Amino acid sequence: MKTCLISIFLLTLVSSAAFGSDEKLREWIDSGSWSQGVEYCNQGLFDDLSRRPDPRGISAAELSRAATYCAALASGKGDEFSAGWWWYTAISLDLKTAEGLLPEMRKTGLLQTLPAPRSRIASDAGELKTGDKVQLVSGEIVSGTPLRLVAHPKSAISMARLMKGVVHSDVTVELVVSRNGLPQQPLLVKAQALPVHVLYAYHLLSAWRFEPAKVNGEPVESLYRLTVNSQALR
């Protein structure tokens, strides 16, 4: 019994040291350590999540909180692209949690400018099969040259640990692809996946790059809907 209690105590200490993502993120926000915090968000956060005793049990609210803090750190660093992406990640996971943290972050001068809210478009933007159609952010479908995926980075080993034992997972996301080929404003369409896998899918998609859609030979913002499955997440 005594040995068991000692083991539980040690596990608690290790867990609080290794998995205290919130504490780490808040310390970097409070100290203005923007670069260190952003670096952690891009990799260390997922290392910590993968080492949790049960990463699949992590709530959407906890992950939304972490994503909001990562948005704040990117904002402090002046990286509006990453700040916007992390913010949309946060509101996709748990809107109430993210919005609840926003006033506090803004009091410190962070997240002052965020992409405007938007609604999902009903049609499947990523599944226009004719080859000469583009769906604009207004939802209008026009003639043009569809966007093309040109860079699709692979996942890190530590992130792939989050998929261990998962037979099937699907995360469908709608993106705005900018005129310079950057994915923006991701919205969750549907997910047959756990919250940690949604976070993971969003993080992978943030590194995708596109040749933008064109209308009358000029780059335009367009919509793209796609599903990231368990194979892509491994």
- What CATH number should be reported for the domain holding residue 188? 3.30.2420.10
Contact 49, 55 (CB under 8 A): yes
Query: 134 has which bridge partners?
Result: 142
Q: Is residue 82 part of a domain?
A: yes
Q: Is residue 119 part of a domain?
A: no
Token pair recorded at residue 38: 């952003």
Token pair recorded at residue 23: 């504490």
Query: 228 has which bridge partners?
Result: 171
Domain with 12 in it: what CATH number? 1.25.40
> How many domains, the chain?
2
Per-residue pLDDT of the chain (234 residues; tens, 9 = 90+): 444 433 333 333 333 334 578 899 999 999 999 999 999 999 899 888 888 888 778 999 999 999 999 999 999 999 999 999 999 999 999 999 999 999 999 999 999 998 877 887 755 544 455 578 899 998 899 999 999 999 887 766 556 666 666 667 789 999 999 999 999 999 999 998 889 999 989 999 999 999 999 999 999 999 999 888 766 665
CA distance 97 to 64: 7
Q: What amino acid occupies position 66?
A: A
Query: Residue 149 sits in which domain range?
Result: 125-233
Query: 29 has which bridge partners?
Result: none
CA distance 99 to 85: 15
- Could you say which of 107, 139, 166 is where a domain stops? 107
The residue among 49, 36, 45 whose CA lies nearest residue 76 is: 36
Say yes or no: 146 and 202 in one domain. Answer: yes
pLDDT tens digit sequence for 175-215: 999 999 999 999 999 998 889 999 989 999 999 999 999 99
- Could you say which of 53, 74, 107 is where a domain stops? 107
pLDDT tens digit sequence for 59-75: 999 999 999 999 999 99
- Could you say which of 48, 72, 107 is where a domain stops? 107
**Residue 22 CB neighbour total at 10 angstroms:** 12
This prediction's pTM? 0.85
